[in-house]
Structures are given as C-alpha cells and as structure tokens.
C-alpha cells in the first residue's frame, strides 16, 4: 500500500527533515564504500541526491510511487553527470532482486521501522545481504525507544494534538500548519502517529485539512543487534548520533554492519 499519496509526497520535504547530521554521515559512508551504493526507502531523494553529487553511483528503491515521482522531478533538475549516477526503482525492501551487488546498502531516517513484523525484518535483511559484495556494509539508523515517552503516550487516545511545524504550500502559496499526535502500543511494539495538515487562507481560516497516518515498529538496542547477527551480519559500530558519538539510551541507534 502506498502510505503517501501525491499530496502527502509533495508535503514530505517540508515537515520531515531528517535527523541532524544524517546527510553528511551517509555521504561520508558512501564515499568510503565507493560505487555502487543502494539506498532503501529513498523517498524524495533527500539523502540520495547529495550522495550522487559527491560522485558516487547510487540506486534508490522505494515502494511509494508518489515519493519516487517527486524524486524524479528533483533529479531532472540536476546536472547531466549527476543524473547519470542515479537510478530510481519502485520496489519493496522486504523482497527485491536488482541483479547486481553493492558495496554499501543504506536505510536512512528510520525507514527500517516501516517493517511491522519480525518476519518482514528478517526478509529485508536477507535480501540486503544477498545484494552486498564480499566485505560490503549495511548502514542504518532507527530511533532508540524512550521509556518515558512510551509511558506518557500509552493511552487509548494517545497524546494530545500538538503543533509540530508549519510551511508554505508550494502549489497554493498558503500557510500550512502541521499537527501531530502519537500513541505507543506496547503489546505490538508499535508507534502510531497521525499528522494533520491545516491549510489556511489569508484570514487564518482553515480551507483544507488532510490526515496522514504513520505506523512504525520500534526496536530496542539488543533486539536490533540480534536481528543483524542472525541475518548474517557482523556489527562493526553502534553510534548514538551522526557525529559518531557513543550510544545513549532514548536517543538514536546508528548501526554499521558488515556482511559476515
């Protein structure tokens, strides 16, 4: 199922801006690995395009056609030599066959958490391993669950609707307010988040409203480590941020793992 329709994809870059330092980190990893690189869950190309601009050949795979359509529009505006280093593929990270090997596979911005079952997670990791050359690496990040936040938002109604951000609609020029609410389901180990977009006219009246649900399955540190090791990877590093600082509970898990 496409979790992002056309309008949500157009809005994506304005309200979903990544984790501080992530672009530079993934570009550095791609440079060290060399071509070709594969990005899973490439979305609108926020990471993919800077990697290509750094001189690395990259394939971006995503299952949302509308996100890929935005990425293609961006790529079309790039210099010809950068365009030639980019390939975009519609596909599912749980089951893909590209017929080539990669020095590095990246899953930025917590995209691995879209996999909602252990079997889906293992299927994806097996597919990734099959596409890595000898000595190839997998680099990904997921948020580390905050127990305080889980307790605070574990109710039947979830958290109250809160203002997250705002931006100007690129098509209408109108102001758009982004509200969100979230609920943790500890039995399923899922985070259910709902974004509400309110488009305002010049008088501040709501003239359009959109809802975008998001479901993620969060992973604890040792759960992620065991998944990697059981799937044929050797963990090389776990960082707590994109400055390669030490892991700290409740922050970020940034994993570097080699094909074993």
| CATH, residue 69 | 3.40.50.150
Token pair 């940034």 is at which residue?
A: 254
Residue 1 domain-assigned?
Answer: no
Distances (CA, A) of 49 to 85, 104, 112, 122, 189: 9, 16, 20, 28, 33
Of 15 and 129, the structure prediction assigns the larger pLDDT to 129
The total number of structural domains that make up the chain: 2
CA distance 127 to 67: 22
Q: How confident is the model at residue 1 (pLDDT cuts 50, 70, 90)?
A: very low
Which structural domain, as residue segments, surrounds residue 31?
A: 6-143+219-259
Least confident of 17-31, 150-164, 169-183: 150-164
Q: What residues have CB less than 8 Å from 70, skipping those under 6 apart?
A: 9, 10, 12, 13, 44, 45
Give the number of other CB atoms < 10 A from CB of residue 145: 20
pLDDT digits (tens, 9 = 90+) for 89-106: 999 999 999 999 999 999
Average pLDDT (51-55) is 98
Same domain, 176 and 102: no
Same domain, 110 and 11: yes
Least confident of 10-19, 42-51, 133-142, 241-250: 10-19
Q: Peptide bond before 36: cis, by omega within 30 degrees of 0?
A: yes
Choose among 181, 192, 184, 111: nearest CA to 149. 184
Same domain, 63 and 133: yes
């Amino acid at each position: 199922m496409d979790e992002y329709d056309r309008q949500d994809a157009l809005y994506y870059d304005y309200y979903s801006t990544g984790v501080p330092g992530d672009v530079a980190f993934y570009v550095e990893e791609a440079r060290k690995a060399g071509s070709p690189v594969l990005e899973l869950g490439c979305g609108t190309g926020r990471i993919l395009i800077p990697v290509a601009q750094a001189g690395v050949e990259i394939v971006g795979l995503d299952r949302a056609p509308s996100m890929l359509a935005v990425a293609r529009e961006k790529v079309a505006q790039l210099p010809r030599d950068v365009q030639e280093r980019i390939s975009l593929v519609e596909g599912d990270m749980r089951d893909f066959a590209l017929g080539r090997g990669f020095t590095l596979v990246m899953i930025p911005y917590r995209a691995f958490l879209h996999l909602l079952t252990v079997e889906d997670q293992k299927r994806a990791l097996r597919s990734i391993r099959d596409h890595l050359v000898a000595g190839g690496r997998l680099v990904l990040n997921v948020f580390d669950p905050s127990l305080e936040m889980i307790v605070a938002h574990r109710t039947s109604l979830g958290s109250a609707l809160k203002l997250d951000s705002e931006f100007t609609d690129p098509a209408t020029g109108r102001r758009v307010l982004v509200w969100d609410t979230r609920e943790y389901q500890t039995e399923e180990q899922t985070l259910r988040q709902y974004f509400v977009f309110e488009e305002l006219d010049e008088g501040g009246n709501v003239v359009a409203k959109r809802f975008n649900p998001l479901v993620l399955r969060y992973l604890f540190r040792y759960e992620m480590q065991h998944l990697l090791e059981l799937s044929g990877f050797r963990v090389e590093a776990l960082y707590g941020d994109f400055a390669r600082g030490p892991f700290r509970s409740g922050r970020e898990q940034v994993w570097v793992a080699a094909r074993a």
